Amino acid sequence: MDNNLNPIWAIVPASGLGRRMQSELPKQYLSFQGKTVIEHCLDRLLSHPGIEGAVVVLQNDDSHWEELGYTSEKPVLTTAGGVERHHSVYNGLLVLQDRCGSEVLALVHDAIRPLVTHLDLDNVIKAARAHEAGALLAAPVSDTLKLQGDKMDITRTVSRDQLWRAFTPQIFPLPMLLRSLKVAIDDNLEITDDASAIELQGFSPRLVSGDPSNIKITNPSDLNLAELIWLNQRDQQYDE
């Protein structure tokens, strides 16, 4: 399978409840600058020329998506999520496979990361096309790391050399990711992102240095920070 020729579709898991946001609305439906977080996210992805369309994975009882009336010139499909995030991604991949077949690159991106830049998308797409095990955006760890003991004491300082924080998008050949997630689900393996499922099958995805402004909106303060980053990105675009 030639990754250089395969189309790229986005899988956007959006079934989180957002309990840490202290809001009745799921965090992907909170708003800044006149749009919800998920609308900003989809706008970023679908405005990139290398992305053909998106599969949005929703909660079974999600009543907010239809109220948005989100539209795009590119196809946007929806399906129901699962118990955990990787179940939701797996369901999205099945819909994508049914729509496009297996010769597709699946770009998995969190709905609550609305600020990914086109430059980062360019770089991670290029790396995923060149590397058979796919690629993901990430950033080197810059803070000092401490290992916690049982009583909230420090047991030791952990070297941060060669440690990276994983972001999304993460891009993999659809069959590889589908198989890896199925094994993780069937064997009840603990995975924290899509790359970890790939790694458990003996593959080594490529790390691509990404902009730290690609934040994940998790806490109430993140929404204010996202708005500031969005405004700065807009101003930079106008200045170019």
What global pTM score does this model have? 0.93
Mean pLDDT of the chain: 93
pLDDT of residue 3: 63
Neighbours of 50 (CB within 10 A): 15
CATH number of 8-136+168-239: 3.90.550.10
Mapped onto helix, strand or coil, the DSSP state of residue 99 is: helix
Count of alpha carbons within 13 angstroms of residue 228, beta-carbon side: 8
What torsion do the CA atoms of 222, 198, 83, 192 make, to the nearest 10 degrees?
A: -40
Specify the pairing of strand 206-209 against strand 135-140: parallel
Question: In the predicted model, what is the mean pLDDT of residues 12-26?
Answer: 73
CA dihedral over 25, 76, 116, 216, signed as positive or negative: positive
pLDDT of residue 239: 52
pLDDT tens digits for range 123-166: 999 999 999 999 999 999 999 999 999 999 999 999 999 999 99
Q: Where are the domains of the chain?
A: 8-136+168-239
Question: In the predicted model, what is the mean pLDDT of residues 37-44?
Answer: 97
